[in-house]
């Protein structure tokens, strides 16, 4: 093995050792969630594995993996549910894994989500570690695991895959690896529509970096400091390449859908309209919450929804006050806005917020400053509550 390969292997081993507590803790929480789901489902005569791999969106993904695009369902009310609404990276991975193994498409989707969820936890740790330190990194990974809708991380859905790509793209931005950031943003854009949030983060951070470089150059020039134009030019080229790569995934798929449907660049919006989904600035969601106050029992749910939205906004504001890196603020801001301002599937909003992990960083920082025994007790209690809620949630009428 060459010296360079040995060095790279050593760096990776060191990074894995540093992240080990976060990954082991994450795996323990998710194992608890799966065991609880299995026991709860067995009591109700249901298959926990079917709930994770062969219901709701997972069926659409395996359908794309097996039969490609073009399938649609026409509902009695005239709505058209087309599988073009589902971005292609997860089905591609399901098809690839099924082709090289005895796994079915559903099995492959489950496997992808398991590995991707661990990669996401590692990426979340890496981002938090970089910004707040190792203890906060461990806390951030655990907090993401114990979210009430954390069970989705183990489903054959695209949330875990997307979060993994987004987290590592953001880490690449924070560490100045612009080409890597652009490539990961490209893949995130092929995973979910909210891939636009990763693109926005890469572009905003890159533009801010350009401005910072120009200011630094002007200041150094005033001090007659000697610079290397070649080094500066190479850094600029890599930043521009990363910016060029970042939007290609999302833009490519959206334009392909527009071409396939014959509706031009906005054809994907027409597909989403067939699902009664769109972006209305939160008007429909506000009406949904307001309707909860028509009776006393449902008013409690309305109060809980308002409290939840207020908590999300509060966490974002705290992140701004703590001066989180610009890329994290842009990313979590776009993810949150798209989730809260979508005009349909109100019960899925907690799931849509799942990739907005930078919102957890203020909590992770606070938890990292708590005594170890108390922090473990808090995380353990919330993990049990999350496991029970996840089992109850998936055994409901759905979809999540």
- pLDDT at position 206 is 96
| Residue-wise pLDDT tens digits, 4-59 | 556 566 777 888 899 999 999 999 999 999 999 999 999 999 999 999 999 999 99
DSSP state of 85: G
Cβ neighbourhood burial of 321 (10 Å; 0-12, 13-18, 19+): exposed
| Residue-wise pLDDT tens digits, 359-399 | 999 999 999 999 999 999 999 999 999 999 999 999 987 67
Report the distance separating Cα 319 and Cα 371, nearest Å: 23
Higher-confidence position of 344 and 330: 330
Higher-confidence position of 211 and 58: 58
Tokens, residue 312: 């999300």
| Residue-wise pLDDT tens digits, 188-205 | 999 999 999 999 999 999
Cβ neighbourhood burial of 138 (10 Å; 0-12, 13-18, 19+): buried
Residues 198, 169 contacting (CB under 8 angstroms): yes
Tokens, residue 146: 């114990």
Higher-confidence position of 215 and 308: 308
Residues 354, 147 contacting (CB under 8 angstroms): yes
Report the distance separating Cα 185 and Cα 195, nearest Å: 7
- Helix (H, G, I), strand (E, B), or coil: what is residue 295? coil
- pLDDT at position 226 is 46
Residues 325, 181 contacting (CB under 8 angstroms): no
Report the distance separating Cα 94 and Cα 202, nearest Å: 28
- Helix (H, G, I), strand (E, B), or coil: what is residue 44? coil
- Which residue reads 């974002």 in tokens? 316
Q: Is 226 left (phi over 0), alpha (psi -120 to 50) or beta?
A: beta
Report the distance separating Cα 143 and Cα 136, nearest Å: 10
Residues paired with residue 73 on neighbouring β-strands, in sequence order? 81
Residues 6+ apart with CB under 8 A from 304: none
- Helix (H, G, I), strand (E, B), or coil: what is residue 86? coil
| Residue-wise pLDDT tens digits, 147-192 | 999 999 999 999 999 999 999 999 999 999 999 999 999 999 999 9
- Alpha carbons within 13 A on the beta-carbon side of 323: 0
Is the preceding peptide bond at 76 cis, omega within 30 degrees of 0?
no
| Residue-wise pLDDT tens digits, 69-121 | 999 999 999 899 999 999 999 999 999 999 999 999 999 999 999 999 999 99
Tokens, residue 350: 């907690």
- pLDDT at position 218 is 57
- pLDDT at position 221 is 56
pLDDT at 287 over 60: yes
Average pLDDT, stretch 224-240?
72
Average pLDDT, stretch 281-308?
89
- Alpha carbons within 13 A on the beta-carbon side of 215: 6
**pTM (2 decimals)?**
0.94
Helix 361-368 × helix 296-321 angle, to 10°:
70
Report the distance separating Cα 94 and Cα 87, nearest Å: 13
Provide the pLDDT confidence category of residue 215 given band limits of 50, 70 and 90. low
Mean pLDDT in the chain?
92
pLDDT at 242 over 50: yes
Average pLDDT, stretch 273-285?
89
Residues 6+ apart with CB under 8 A from 37: 48, 51, 52, 151, 387, 390, 391, 394
pLDDT at 209 over 80: yes
- pLDDT at position 336 is 97
Average pLDDT, stretch 338-346?
87
pLDDT at 328 over 60: yes
- pLDDT at position 346 is 83
Residues 66, 105 contacting (CB under 8 angstroms): yes
Report the distance separating Cα 240 and Cα 178, nearest Å: 8
């Amino acid at each position: 093995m060459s010296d360079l390969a040995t060095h790279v292997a050593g760096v990776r081993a060191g990074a894995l050792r540093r992240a080990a507590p976060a990954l082991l803790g994450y795996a323990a929480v998710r194992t608890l969630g799966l065991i609880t789901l299995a026991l709860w489902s067995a009591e109700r005569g249901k298959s926990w594995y079917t709930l994770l791999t062969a219901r709701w969106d997972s069926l659409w993904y395996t359908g794309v993996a097996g039969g490609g695009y073009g399938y649609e369902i026409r509902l009695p009310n005239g709505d058209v549910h087309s599988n073009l609404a589902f971005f292609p990276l997860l089905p591609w991975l399901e098809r690839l894994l099924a082709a090289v193994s005895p796994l079915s498409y559903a099995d492959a989707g489950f496997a992808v989500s398991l590995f991707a969820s661990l990669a996401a936890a590692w990426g979340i740790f890496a981002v938090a570690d970089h910004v707040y330190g190792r203890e906060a990194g461990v806390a951030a990974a655990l907090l993401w695991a114990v979210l009430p809708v954390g069970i989705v991380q183990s489903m054959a859905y695209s949330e875990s895959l997307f979060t993994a790509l987004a987290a590592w793209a953001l880490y690449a931005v924070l560490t100045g690896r612009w080409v890597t950031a652009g490539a990961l943003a490209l893949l995130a854009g092929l995973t979910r529509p909210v891939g636009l949030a990763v693109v926005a983060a890469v572009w905003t951070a890159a533009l801010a970096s350009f401005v910072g470089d120009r200011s630094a150059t002007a200041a150094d020039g005033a001090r007659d400091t000697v610079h290397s134009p070649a080094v500066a030019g190479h850094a600029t080229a890599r930043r521009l390449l990363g910016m060029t790569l970042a939007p290609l995934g999302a833009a490519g798929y959206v334009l392909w859908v527009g071409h396939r449907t014959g509706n031009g660049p906005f054809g994907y919006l027409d597909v989403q309209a067939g699902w009664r989904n769109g972006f209305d600035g939160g008007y429909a969601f506000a009406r949904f919450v307001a309707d909860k106050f028509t009776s006393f029992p449902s008013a409690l749910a309305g109060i809980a929804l308002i409290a939840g939205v207020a908590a999300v906004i509060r966490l974002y504001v705290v992140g701004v006050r703590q001066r989180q890196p610009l890329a994290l603020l842009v990313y979590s801001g776009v993810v949150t806005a798209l989730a809260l301002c979508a005009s349909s599937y109100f019960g899925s909003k907690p799931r849509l917020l799942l990739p907005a992990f930078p919102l957890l960083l203020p909590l992770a920082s606070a938890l990292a400053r708590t005594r170890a025994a108390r922090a473990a007790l808090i995380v353990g209690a919330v993990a049990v509550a999350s496991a029970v809620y996840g089992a109850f949630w998936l055994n409901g009428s759905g979809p999540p």
